[in-house]
Amino acid sequence: MSRMHIRDIMDRDGRTISFEFFPPATNTAAAALETRLEQFAALKPSFVSVTYGGGGSTRARTHELVLRLQDRGLLDPVPHLTCMCHSRADIAEVLERYARAGISNLLGLRGDMPREAADVAETDYQHAADLVSHIVEFNESGAHPDGRGFGIGVAGFPEGHPDTPNQLVHMNHLKAKVDAGADWITTQLFADNGHFTDWRERCELAGIDVPIVAGIMPITSLATMNRMANLAAGMTFPAKLQRRLMRHQDDAASIEQIGIQWAVEQCNDLLDMGVAGIHFYTLNRSDATKRIFEALGAGTSADLQ
């Protein structure tokens, strides 16, 4: 069953509301996610993305989850596709498989080098823009059932990327991905909207005119905050947020409430400024996402569009 191209989704929804999953590593984790899928589906997101480990380390599990979501028809899956440590033949195989399955959109990423890998030269791709160009070539070949081919998303980093501390060079890399054919940008998670708004203005100055979807992940514990810091190296946690957390650092329930409330404040601000979309990093757990929706007065994503 073919799903909707991202351009059609954006035309339908105006503002996209989306979730991110990661492929479960164990049967227990897979069963837990399975029980939550209907809870996520009840929120009616525009789409859900599925991560792909560095160097393709979760390749088989990513494909399995994407195709299961596709077959169930509850949620529209957008698989991540990383190119680090991959050959063009590897990527062509993945594109052909997803095209046959009727997957309509991909998030094209460079990805991280696996810890055990040492030689970057083993890959056919040095930058995400190279992967975007390859996907565009595939689209132009007519191998996808949709004449437009795959919709292509790419990543944006409002607080910079650790591999490219020079922000001017970093913006050039983002512009190269868009110029290569990206349809939209989903940002890395951030906790300070000021960084996002300034970065979005700099994107406009650079001539980047595709929709930019803001990535949000609520703090549900101090351990989660540390994980967020690892996921988004260089991420800033505002002093105001840290003070709130420190006042209740021995109370897990209060920490979770503070984190969810902060995410709600972020979302309200983003909605007020007319953001093109909000992407929730869920860690495969529906509770925090549902609580954010409730605090925003939304029964489904349609109430936020």
Report the pLDDT value the prediction gives residue 61, as an integer from 0 to 100: 84
Whose CA is closest to 162, among 215, 110, 218? 110
Give the Cβ contact number of residue 244 at 10 Å. Answer: 18
Residue 176, phi then psi, degrees to nearest 5: -65, -40
Report the pLDDT value the prediction gives residue 234, as an integer from 0 to 100: 85
Q: Which positions are annotated as active-site residues?
A: 20
Q: Which amino acid is at 290?
A: K
Average pLDDT over residues 251-270: 97
Work out the widest C-alpha separation in the chain, in whole angstroms: 58
Average pLDDT over residues 18-25: 94
Report the pLDDT value the prediction gives residue 54, as an integer from 0 to 100: 58
Q: Which amino acid is at 6?
A: I
Report the pLDDT value the prediction gives residue 115, as an integer from 0 to 100: 58
CATH (one of 1.10.10.1800, 3.20.20.220, 3.40.50.620, 2.70.70.10) for 6-304: 3.20.20.220
Report the pLDDT value the prediction gives residue 1, as an integer from 0 to 100: 43
Query: Which residue is it, tokens 């498989």?
Result: 97
Residue 2 has pLDDT above 90, yes or no: no
- pLDDT per residue as tens digits for the range 153-205: 999 999 988 888 899 999 999 999 999 999 999 999 999 999 999 999 999 99
Report the pLDDT value the prediction gives residue 104, as an integer from 0 to 100: 96
The three-state secondary structure class of 46 is: coil
Whose CA is closest to 112, among 26, 191, 53, 165? 53
Average pLDDT over residues 62-85: 91
Sequence ranges of the domains in the chain: 6-304
- pLDDT per residue as tens digits for the range 84-143: 888 999 999 999 999 999 999 999 999 876 655 544 446 788 899 999 999 999 999 999
Average pLDDT over residues 70-88: 91
DSSP codes of every residue in 75-102 = S-EEEEEE-TT--HHHHHHHHHHHHHHT
